[in-house]
């Protein structure tokens, strides 16, 4: 009975810690799904929301018509809130925002850079909650001033396109200083104990991608999921550039034959540039086009040898293909167990 009472008290404490996040998202738990291109579509998004979390559609390169269909299909699979992740550099950003507003999406995530004022105004005028990505404290403050209702701070441990700073550092830099809006943390989170630690630092919730990529409801190819299950944390490394004149935005993924070919490709393009065969602009374009379509090849076609298998360092904690609801329940149980263990340690120190 004492153990059950402690569990109930721990669950109440967890609810208290992320209440700001759950109230903002309209979800049972403050666990957001990351916006992963080709992965975060209707099936996984609906599964996350139906399990009590908050799913997020990854618009990626979708046009307005395709996004409208994806939102409608997701709404047919869940009556719970979910969001849409839009890339700020998308050439049809304003049209995509309009699609979200017309579909009565409750939250829009603007990622990939400082959002343009027109998009921010459209989201705010439409009564939708705006979530921005803040890779540094100064940018977080700027986003809040411009109208962001919440922030996501994502560390370099995350999969896909990453910044240079780890979440452990970002959290210390940002959480004590931004109190006006909820802040969700992301990057390398794979267990409930870590979720609890960031909540106690002041986060309102978390965003996870890698743990959900191999979920049962994910449409990712079986070979893609198996690559996650087999991988260790040290297998998920950022892409490298070989010449500072040709910058490469770091992308964290599982090292494979494609990764090795990219290094050789950069070296060959550099040689051809130095021989005068390519202009600097043409050489940069050749480097950037190497990975075109590579993520789709990995996720949808199962080409985990030459495709881009984007994964965060938490991939080492993906040990099996699990239903989304099971993943979320496991994370919650781990956080609750950590709170119970702490309560037991505290009780043991009480005299008498």
Q: Read off the pLDDT of residues 202-251 as tens digits, 9 standing for 90 and up.
A: 999 999 999 999 999 999 999 999 999 999 999 999 999 998 998 888 99
- Whether 1 has a pLDDT exceeding 60, the answer reads no
Rounded Cα distance between 241 and 228, Å, is 25
Rounded Cα distance between 126 and 96, Å, is 13
Element counts in the chain: helices (H) and strands (E): 15, 11
Say yes or no: 44 and 135 in one domain: yes
Q: Read off the pLDDT of residues 179-190 as tens digits, 9 standing for 90 and up.
A: 999 999 999 999
Residues β-bridged to residue 159: none
Task: Tell which phi-psi region holds residue 235, choosing left (phi > 0), alpha (psi between -120 and 50) or beta.
Answer: alpha
Query: What Å distances lie between residue 213 and 240, 327, 339, CA to CA?
Result: 24, 11, 28
The tokens of 332 are what? 């919650």
Residue 186 contacts residue 207 (beta carbons within 8 Å): yes
Q: What is the DSSP string of 124-189?
A: HHTT-EEEEE-SSHHHHHHHHHHT-SEEEEE-TTSSEE--SS-HHHHHHHHTTT--SS-EEEESS-
Say yes or no: 144 and 170 in one domain: yes
pTM, entire model:
0.94
Q: Is residue 179 part of a domain?
A: yes
Rounded to 5 degrees, φ, ψ at 74 are: -70, -40
For residue 39, which of 14, 22, 60, 13 has the smallest C-alpha distance? 60
The tokens of 10 are what? 């721990």
Q: Which domain holds residue 105?
A: 2-208+322-348
Q: Is residue 306 part of a domain?
A: yes
Rounded Cα distance between 122 and 135, Å, is 23
Q: Is residue 224 part of a domain?
A: no
Q: What is the CATH number of the domain that holds 84?
A: 3.20.20.70
Residue 163 contacts residue 135 (beta carbons within 8 Å): yes
Say yes or no: 119 and 243 in one domain: no
What's the chain's average pLDDT?
95
Q: Is residue 156 part of a domain?
A: yes
Residues β-bridged to residue 84: 57, 108
Rounded Cα distance between 276 and 308, Å, is 30
Q: Is residue 214 part of a domain?
A: no
Rounded Cα distance between 334 and 336, Å, is 5
- Whether 26 has a pLDDT exceeding 70, the answer reads yes
Residue 64 contacts residue 95 (beta carbons within 8 Å): yes
Q: Is residue 213 part of a domain?
A: no
Rounded to 5 degrees, φ, ψ at 251 are: -130, 120
Residue 338 contacts residue 192 (beta carbons within 8 Å): yes
pLDDT score at 289: 85
Please tell me the total count of domains within the chain.
2
pLDDT score at 345: 83
Say yes or no: 106 and 204 in one domain: yes
Say yes or no: 196 and 279 in one domain: no
Q: Is residue 302 part of a domain?
A: yes
Strands 129-133 and 56-58 come out as unpaired
Q: Read off the pLDDT of residues 99-128 as tens digits, 9 standing for 90 and up.
A: 999 999 999 999 988 999 999 999 999 999
DSSP 3-state assignment of 160?
strand
The tokens of 255 are what? 């090292």
Residue 112 contacts residue 60 (beta carbons within 8 Å): no
Rounded Cα distance between 312 and 36, Å, is 11
Say yes or no: 337 and 282 in one domain: no
């Amino acid at each position: 009975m004492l153990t059950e009472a402690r569990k109930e008290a721990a669950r109440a404490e967890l609810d208290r810690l992320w209440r700001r996040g759950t109230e903002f998202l309209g979800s049972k738990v403050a666990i957001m799904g990351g916006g992963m291109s080709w992965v975060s579509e209707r099936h996984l998004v609906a599964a996350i929301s139906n399990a009590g979390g908050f799913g997020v559609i990854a618009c990626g390169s979708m046009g307005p018509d395709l996004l409208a269909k994806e939102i409608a299909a997701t709404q047919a699979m869940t009556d719970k809130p979910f969001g849409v992740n839009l890339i700020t550099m998308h050439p049809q950003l304003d049209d995509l925002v309009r699609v979200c507003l017309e579909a009565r999406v409750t939250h829009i995530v603007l990622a990939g850079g400082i959002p343009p004022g027109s998009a921010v105004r459209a989201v705010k005028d439409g009564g939708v909650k705006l979530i921005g990505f803040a890779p540094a404290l100064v940018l977080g403050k700027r986003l809040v001033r411009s109208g962001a209702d919440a922030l996501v701070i994502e560390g370099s441990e995350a999969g896909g396109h990453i910044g240079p700073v780890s979440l452990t550092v970002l959290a210390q830099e940002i959480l004590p200083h931004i109190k006006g809006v909820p802040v969700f943390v992301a990057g390398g989170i794979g267990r409930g104990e870590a979720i609890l630690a960031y909540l106690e630092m002041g986060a309102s919730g978390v965003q996870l991608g890698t743990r959900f990529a191999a979920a049962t409801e994910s449409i990712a190819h079986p070979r893609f999921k198996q690559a996650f299950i087999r991988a260790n944390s040290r297998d998920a490394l950022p892409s490298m550039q070989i010449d500072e004149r040709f910058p490469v935005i770091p992308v964290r993924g599982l090292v494979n034959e494609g990764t090795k070919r990219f290094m050789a490709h950069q070296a060959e393009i550099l040689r051809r540039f130095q021989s005068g065969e390519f202009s600097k602009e043409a050489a940069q374009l050749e480097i950037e086009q190497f990975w075109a379509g590579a993520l789709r090849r990995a996720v949808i076609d199962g080409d985990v040898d030459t495709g881009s298998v984007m994964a965060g360092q938490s991939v080492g904690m993906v040990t099996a293909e699990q239903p989304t609801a099971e993943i979320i329940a496991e994370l919650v149980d781990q956080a609750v167990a950590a709170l119970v263990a702490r309560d037991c340690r505290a009780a043991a120190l009480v005299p008498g």
